[in-house]
A and B are shown apart, each in its own frame.
Chain A
Amino acid sequence: MTAYLKMDEPDRRNRLDSMAQGVIGQPLDRMEGPLKVSGTARYAHEWPVERLCHAVLVRSTIARGHVVRIDRSPVEAMDGVLAVIDDDRLLRNPAQGTAGKAPVQGPREIFYVGQPLALVVAESFEQARHAATQLRIETMATEAVLDPESESTDRERPEGKQTSQGDLDRAMAEASHSIDAVYHTPGHSSAAMEPHAAIAQWDGDDLTVHASCQMLKYNQEELADALGIDAGRVRIVSPYVGGGFGSKLGIAHDAVAAAIAARAVGRPVALALSRRQVFETTMRRSESRQRIRLAADADGLLTGLGHEALVSQLPGETFSEPVAQATHFLYAAENREIIHEIVRLNRTCAGSVRAPGEAIGMTVLETAMDELAVKAGIDPVALRKRNIPDKDPEDQRPFSSHMLDQALDRGAELFDWQRRRPEPRSTRRGEWLIGLGMSSAARVNSLMQAESRVTLGGEGVRIETDMTDIGTGTYTVLAQIAGEMLGVPMDRITTVLGDTDLPPGPGSGGSWGASSTGSAVYVACEEIRARIARKLGCRAEDLTLKDGHAITGNRSTALGELIGDAPISVRGVVEPGGTSKKVRQSTYGAFFAEVAVNDVTAEVRVRRMLGVFAAGRILNAKTARSQCLGGMTFGIGMALTEELIHDPRDGSIVNRDLAEYHLPVNADVPQLEVELLEERDPWASPIQAKGIGELGISGAAACINNAVFNACGVRVRSYPVTLDKILAEL
């Protein structure tokens, strides 16, 4: 039986709040935690498979051109080698998130350094790795486009991604205070700890792939389409995913190549990308050039706002980093101009890295807002509060809920912001200059179609969906929703995830996973409650479910007794509807940081950092907090160390490993503080929850950069804020 909800109207019943189990929102430990801390959670490359052989990719060393010839026979004769494969179906680029069809294929045409061209399959990993180094591929190079800011390269301005309202030039001319500045952000890598990997095995015409994927419903379609087979013949299994952050949204080289190879050699094949291959062949976040124009009156009220962004992408790809996504609605200003430009380059494919758009767009906008605050002599918190719109400033839609004002106030209070001294270089501890900075956080919110099966049996509850848990807490939060709705203790709930044989959901991405699939679980549970009520002859509203008992009036019945041998199984389906269009939905927050800048070396250390966030109902205070910690730490990396460096001669990524691409390490991150605000958003979902996985990065780097300015008086407009850039001005 199926229960269905289309989210056409806001749900203000807040049903989860009137339940009795008391588990929703609680900071419970992760259900799968004991497996993870004991090393027994099984990731893609770890499935025990008989007769497994190993494949290693061989890749392009040129940026543009084509393959002339592959000298396969010397390698085919090597010890243990089973095959050299250059199948036309090998991917050129991985799939973008929610593509649902094959990405661009055909390895003979070369578009970037590092593009996979072939693979070697051998009995052992060591044999395959060595043989791959020996494969000679003759290529013919043609001219590549490599400079994202060259004036001679065409820039695309896609229709529908440009906004012009009022007269920004005039607003700038008439402004009491204005900012017109150009900023740069570098490319970023998701750098999830588990490299992309797949084990593919065929049983007749049926394919099973154990892979590290974020969005199984789409990945199944993408893989099947890439192989030219029916999606019904493809099963993807990903119960544990060692991080994704966007890099595993779409099907990637590993799964497609492993499937082709397994067919070719008639044996299961494992293919794991090396760390360098992860950097060079999976998604990068595009670098950006951003020009911000802010016009304000004497009181700091914005009269004009301009945000122009230039990002890069490979030819033919439709995705481009939506830099100004939150600029459209964050601050009121009558005169607005938002420009989105794309330059086509021969660099690794650009795609989603945690919070595509806001991660760099909010960061730059919030750096510019700090510059305006300084120029106008207005407190940065007050400046933002003054410019919060009461409806979407472009299309006049109301906001579903709006907690920026509260987040700013709460953050200022918790961080003791009033003690900040606005004049740079005001606070010194020995060699170190201390400064405080802040920024706003915002990230768009969306609900996606999702399904989930919930079965209430004598033993407890079972939840099944193809949704993934990439560290997001899915196992636990789905169980908390069902436990609350059905009055079943957590130790009697099983969550089964990450298998395309289960009801499909939108996967983990865009921060929509928990609210979408969680709503599907909720919808199924509401139906189960209705059926229990019918059995007991009462109204669902008069039914209390707690600790495995159904209580109506003064009668208590054990659920096991009530259900007997006939478990109640309901497929819950939720679909976005009118609420996605009628209102503007976003999450909000505020970041505060205290940094120390060394007055001699210009080294920057983050001493304290606070994030205050509002994302609707919090499903689990512990896992939600950890998602925020992760986002804020990405922000520290963006602010201070993370930068993909491209060789100007061929566009290749120079720092393609974890020694040279600097993620924050433990010593870079102080005891971050996270405050989650109480909120219910009735428009967002029937559980009143919004996404939280990306909010913590959306603007975070700016608070650190702004704190650096407050500490030492140097304004860096090119991220990351490395000491060479500060030292030059110190």
Chain B
Amino acid sequence: MHTQLTINGENHDLEADERTTLLDALRQHLRLTGTKKGCDHGQCGACTVIVNGRRINSCLTLACMHDGDEIVTIEGIGTATDLSVLQQAFLSADGFQCGYCTPGQICSATAMLEEVKAGWPSHVSDRLDGAPELSDEEIGERMSGNLCRCACYPNIVAAIRAAAGSAA
């Protein structure tokens, strides 16, 4: 089945089985292996990518459902020699150990910061309107869809806090 995807600003013509998830399309067909498979069931967040500006679990959606969509993966956020502010913050704060959940964490955090800027409330927000303050509690709540078994959560929160602060 043919699907046209824009990934990190580049057009890709994908020819794949209709059962192929967006995650497997990225990893197996397009060799964009930065996006990770941790559970294949939307339970861990390792496969988080940004589709049309919103973070999603790429294992829970079929590639053929994304014809014409704009997708940003970790490869589009920054490179090893030109890291984004968040990537650099993860490196400095040691916001990872084994590194397997890390691309998902960073894609998730990149989109999450935009959600906060747009005024989206969360379960722990004091109020439903106005700009939520990016407290540690807000970061923890909004990042709880991304599991990290090395358990770098305190460092992940510190990295996001630092990156958000330096961007402001």
Contact = CB atoms under 8 A, between A and B. Distances in A.
A471 B91 contact: no
Interface majority SS (helix, strand, loop, mixed), chain A: loop
B46 A193 contact: yes
B37 A242 contact: no
Contacts of A472: 97
B37 A272 contact: yes
B156 interface: yes
Contacts of B46: 193
Interface residues of B, number: 65
A125 B37 CA distance: 13
A30 B96 CA distance: 10
A669 B92 contact: no
A64 B87 CA distance: 49
A251 interface: no
Contacts of B97: 243, 471-473, 623, 626-627, 630
B111 to A, nearest CB: 15
Contacts of A194: 36, 38, 98, 100
A275 B102 CA distance: 18
B70 interface: no
A240 B28 CA distance: 19
A193 B74 contact: no
Nearest to B92: A29
Given A124-B17, A193-B148, A243-B149, A629 B154 contact: yes
Identify which of B33, B46, B154, B158 gathers the most chain A CB atoms within 10 Å of its CB.
Answer: B154
B149 A40 contact: no
A676 B92 CA distance: 19
Interface string B1-44: 00000000000000001011000100110010111111111011
A95 B155 CA distance: 34
Interface stretch (A420-428, A573-581, A658-666): A658-666
B39 A664 contact: no
B53 interface: no
Interface string A605-649: 000000000000000001101110111111000000000000000
Given A35-B80, A193-B36, A666-B146, A242 B100 contact: yes
B141 interface: yes
A623 B37 contact: no
Interface in B64-91: 73-75, 77-81, 83, 87-88, 90-91
Interface in B88-116: 88, 90-92, 94, 96-103, 106
Given A37-B91, A275-B41, A666 B98 contact: no
Contacts of B155: 626, 629
Nearest to A32: B99
A471 B90 contact: no
B103 A663 contact: no
A37 B96 contact: yes
Interface in A341-375: none
Contacts of B141: 666-667
Interface in A475-498: none
A38 B28 contact: no
A89 interface: no
A29 B88 CA distance: 10
A241 interface: yes
A543 to B, nearest CB: 34
B82 to A, nearest CB: 9
A640 to B, nearest CB: 14
A160 interface: no
B15 to A, nearest CB: 12
B80 A666 contact: no
A191 interface: yes
A470 B97 CA distance: 8
A407 B51 CA distance: 49
Contacts of A627: 97
A29 B91 CA distance: 6
Interface stretch (A7-15, A41-49, A112-120, A221-229): A41-49
Contacts of B79: 38, 40
Contact of B99 (A36, A244, A622): A36
A48 B44 CA distance: 25
A665 B94 contact: no
Contact of A626 (B27, B75, B106, B150): B150
B151 A629 contact: yes
B153 interface: yes
B133 interface: no
Interface of A: 29-30, 32-43, 45-46, 48, 124-127, 130, 190-195, 240-245, 272, 274-275, 470-473, 622-623, 625-627, 629-634, 657-659, 663-672
Interface of B: 17, 19-20, 24, 27-28, 31, 33-41, 43-44, 46, 73-75, 77-81, 83, 87-88, 90-92, 94, 96-103, 106, 124, 136-137, 139-141, 143-158
19 contacts: A37-B88, A37-B99, A38-B87, A39-B73, A39-B74, A43-B33, A45-B37, A193-B36, A193-B150, A240-B98, A242-B36, A245-B149, A658-B38, A658-B39, A664-B153, A665-B144, A666-B144, A666-B153, A669-B154
Given A124-B17, A626-B155, 13 more contacts: A37-B91, A38-B75, A40-B75, A42-B33, A192-B100, A193-B44, A193-B149, A194-B36, A275-B38, A471-B96, A471-B97, A657-B43, A668-B144
